Structure 1
Amino acid sequence: MRVLMVGVDENTVGGMLTVVQNYQKASDFCDSTHLEYIATATRAGAWGKIKKMLLGFARIAFTIRKHDIDIVHVHMSERGSVFREGFVVLLANTLGSKTIIHMHGAEIETWYKNQWPLVRKLIRYIFCSADRMLILGTKWRPFISEVMQGQTQKIKVLRNAVHVESSNMACASATDILFYGALIKRKGVDDLLQAFAAIKDEIPTMNLRLYGDDQDYRPIEKISEFGLEGRASYGGWVTPDNREQVFANTLVNVLPSYNEGLPMTILESMGYGIPNISTNIAAIPEAVDDGVNGFLVRPGDVEALKQRLLKLCTDKELWQQFSNNAHTKAYDFFSLDSHIKRLLSIYDELLADHSHDEKGF
């Protein structure tokens, strides 16, 4: 089979890019699919974004025709991504390829419900036009099914996955509390800074390390605002080159988000054996079992976040239990090998389905 994936470029760091890079690095997957990849989105000014999008559209049309692409697999988020990648779906349908939308949008439901009726109608048309809709967890099935007007046969759960170490690599003597994600309001960074500031004197050997794409959050100023100079730092984006060192120094990964999909940062750290403290939203409870391999709190509950963080940093027996359970959960449910096998089976099923699925609305 021949597969064309469409998504963001290497300048648009985040979970979606990590997912794509995992596919590109998986030689068996690339060999099975003769994988091609074209970016239609970038982190740039308005003209740069338009240029990337239009050139991407042209390359997609050319590639589908030249290489006789069987499946066009688009990675979609909310807002402009829906319409940009939605155009790709409609274009690919016109050119005779099967189409898959892989929905990564953490705020897709909230965003959709805030649109004008005519815009919602267009979104429904885009979703229904795809041959398959991949969602990151069962939490989204009712919403996506409603938008797709009951076309449940098209909806498939494909949880994010990561490389999982063969053994638990987490270090019980590590001294870092990690935040690893985009530095934006919905990730709850302020809540973490507030919680750590309140307990820092009770855990004098622990330090807070912020890693991620700074989207005008100004982390250095925030660290100063919460009085955490000398106890917190900002290290930029975690790259494949420094990920091992970052994880080796990490005792706990904390992601107190308000909206999410299935965060790659949680899966990557669990695959290393690092326990997580996160929120009970989206598909996160499908990875983090509260009180078993990590802790879950309500979004915005700084008091609970503070208590759980203090507990996990001071109770070494509990930490070790959570660490072992986190690694086991990642190995059993979120390994890249099993993920790729499931995706290939979805591809095979789609190509074998010669029925004319209902499209549109």
Structure 2
Amino acid sequence: MKSVIMIGPSPAARGGMASVVQTYLAHGYEEGGRCRFIATHVDGGALRKAARAGAALLQFLGLLVLGRVALLHVHLASGVSFWRKAAFIAAARLFRRPVLLHLHGGEFIDFVEVRLSGRRQRLALALLGGAAAAFALTEVSAAWLRTRAGLGQVEVFPNPIASSAPLARRPGRSVLFLGRLEEKKGVFDLIRAFAAVHARAPDARLVLAGDGDADGARALAAELGVAHCLHLPGWVDAGARAVLMAEAALFVLPSHKEQMPMSILEAMMASVPVVATDVGAVPQMLDQGKCGFLVQVGNIPQLAASILRILDDNILADTISERGLVRVKSEYMVETVLRRLRHRYEELAA
């Protein structure tokens, strides 16, 4: 029997793309045998990553040779992720199997247009353009795939979120960030904004949960006089994230670039008010500001003011969180997204 083969990072890996895969797998993606997932990436050292990628490619080639592939669904991001998946895409095309691209990562367009040039750029565009169809997370990415890669069948496709019983809300005064601690995620913008917040709300504290430049975060917080309010738990698993969400007054994602961040969906599902930059699909996720506050990238005073509005107004915080929960349940639930995905599979594999 032929199957749809989905490839992407291990569901146990870190990052939003792995969270998407984990959500699909946990909700029956492989039931019935018509869909299979092959992990092409794991966390760990270079040797472990290379071994996983090589084993995945050999497994996929074996399925192609045996005629058991109906369609290849590729979760794709920039950099090494793209080139890792390129061999799978090329193999599928060699065996005349349709390819569905699923574009993640806020920097993919810059990756192709800026970081690649000459032969490598032409190769990347050829690989993209040879796909049967593509999913994008934003209208900007969808338009780029149509115009630059020449793809005719492109649609904006939502990330899924699972319906769960979140921990009972016991919000304190913590401002929560979940993600990698680095400049492009806006972490240092958030620390600067929090210094202004702390001047008005001295009982507030800042929780930055993730790996990355923890030393840089500590140094900046110390320079601004808020080191005593900063908590850096490191990367946290799903259980610890749920606890942090339950205790948070609000969730903040001040990224410079994003597509459709899973952390915002998690916060909305947990009824946590959201403040985020107006990048990627975030304005659509927050219904143009009806379900959370949107701020401009790098606008520290605006970010601080939005955080303070939620900290200072419990009624406003409850209203925003209630709207967010309604929106995420109506647009992003995994059952709805899976039905839509299976329907698209049937069309492409016919």
TM-score when normalising by structure 2: 0.91
Structure 2 counterpart of 1:255 = 253
Aligned to 1:163: 162
Alignment pair present for 1:103 and 2:103: yes
Q: Deviations over 1:312-348 (max 9, x none)?
A: 1101121111111111111111111111111111101
The match for 2:24 is 23
Q: Which moved more, 1:100-109 or 1:46-55?
A: 46-55
Q: Which amino acid counterpart does residue 212 of structure 1 have in structure 2?
A: G
Do structure 1's residue 90 and structure 2's residue 90 form an aligned pair? Answer: yes
Q: Which residue of 1 aligns with 2:7?
A: 6
Alignment of 1:4-153 (within 5 A): 4-9=5-10, 12-27=13-28, 29-66=29-66, 68-114=68-114, 115-149=116-150, 151-152=151-152
Q: Which of 327, 330, 336 does residue 329 from structure 1 map onto? A: 327
Deviation at 1:3, TM superposition (A): 2.2
Please, which of 285, 297, 300 is the counterpart of residue 299 of structure 1? Answer: 297
In the comparison of the two structures, how many residue pairs are matched? Answer: 348
Counterpart of 2:86, as a letter, is G
**Kept in 1: contact 2:276–2:294 (CA 8 A):** yes
What do residues 89-142 of structure 1 show as CA deviations (whole Å, max 9, x unaligned)? 111222343321111021011222112133221111111122221111223221
DSSP 3-state at the match of 2:109? helix
Q: Report % sequence identity.
A: 26
> In structure 2, what residue type is equivalent to 1:161?
P
State the alpha-carbon separation in 2 of the partners of residues 213 and 345 from structure 1: 38
Instruction: Please give the root-mean-square deviation of Cα atoms over the aligned residues, in Å.
Output: 2.3
What SS class does the counterpart of residue 36 from structure 1 fall into? strand
Question: Is the CA contact 1:223–1:233 (under 8 Å) kept in the aligned structure 2?
Answer: no
Unaligned runs of 5+ in 2: none
Residue 316 of structure 2 corresponds to 318
Q: Distance in 2 between matches of 1:173 and 1:335?
A: 25
Of residues 182, 202, 224 in structure 2, which corresponds to 1:184? 182
For 1:188-199, what aligned pairs fall within 5 Å after superposition? Answer: 188-199=186-197
CA-to-aligned-CA distance 1:27-57 (integer Å, 9 cap, x gap): 2x32145443222234444444433322321
Quick check: 1:308 aligned with 2:309?
no
Structure 1 segments unaligned to the other structure (5+ residues): 353-361
Q: Report the CA distance between 1:255 and its aligned residue.
A: 0.5
Paired position in structure 2 for 1:357: none
Deviation per CA, 1:44-84: give whole Å up to 9, x if none: 44444433322321122123445712122111101222222
Which one is further off, 238-247 or 335-344?
A: 238-247
Instruction: Give the Cα–Cα distance (whole angstroms) in 2 for the partners of residues 343 and 85 of structure 1.
Output: 20
Given that residues 175 and 205 in structure 2 are in contact (C-alpha distance below 8 angstroms), is that contact kept between their aligned partners in structure 1? yes
Whether the 8 Å CA contact 1:177–1:250 is kept in 2: the answer is yes
**Contact between 1:271 and 1:327, CA under 8 Å: does it hold in 2?**
yes
Look up the match of 2:343. 345
Q: 2: CA distance between counterparts of 1:225 and 1:10?
A: 38
The alpha-carbon distance between structure 1 residues 113 and 238, as it changes in their structure 2 partners (threshold 3 A), is: same
1: CA distance, partners of 2:13 / 2:30: 22
For the 8 Å contact 1:289–1:295, the answer to whether it is kept is no
